[in-house]
Amino acid sequence: MEQVLKGQASFVARDIPGAIAAFQEAIKLDPARMLGFYRLGEAMLESGNLTEAETAWTTALGKKGTDELQAKVLFCLADLRERQKNWQGTKDGWGAYATFLTSNPKAGGYPATAAERQKQVDRRIKDEKDYAGVKERIIQREAERQKEAEENAKKDKLNR
């Protein structure tokens, strides 16, 4: 717990590398507990290392921790997958979070968030599908304009 507190202090002080090192040390000292992995995931996310954050949180799910902490880890994983635009993983993640909260009402989570995020992901998937043709036409027109601009630049050089 001492290393977790040290890591939290570093995290608050915006010393993310120090926080990561302290959380890793906490995990070495007590690898069976969820808290070190959870906090390591947060520090990794803050450092921009999404893959390591996901690894830490996925590992945390197999460790000992409170229901409240497990709900937080599930929330973080669902949110991370949404940031990664992994839509099926996002839907599954929010589903796992909602299911856990239903089974563990004392976990203190936000079940309405899961339902709302799943709706938003469904809308995003539909929008991407509906606008795929539009995006393709925009890319094609931009390529045509670029080619025309290059040809005009060549003609301008020859006319000088």
CATH number at residue 55: 1.25.40.10
pLDDT tens-digit profile of 23-34? Answer: 999 999 999 999
pLDDT at 1 over 90: no
Contact by Cβ (8 Å): 116, 95: no
Domain boundary among 40, 65, 90: 65
**Enclosing domain of residue 114:** 66-160
Instruction: Select the more confidently predicted residue: 135 or 31.
Output: 31
Opening angle at CA 8, ends 50 and 10, nearest 5: 85
Last residue of a domain, one of 22, 41, 65: 65
What pLDDT, in 10s, does the model give residues 66-113? 999 999 999 999 999 999 989 889 999 999 999 999 999 888 888 889
Contact 89/81 with Cβ under 8 angstroms? yes
Instruction: Report, as an integer, the average pLDDT of 105-130.
Output: 88
**Co-location of 48 and 79 in the same domain:** no
**Global confidence as pTM:** 0.76
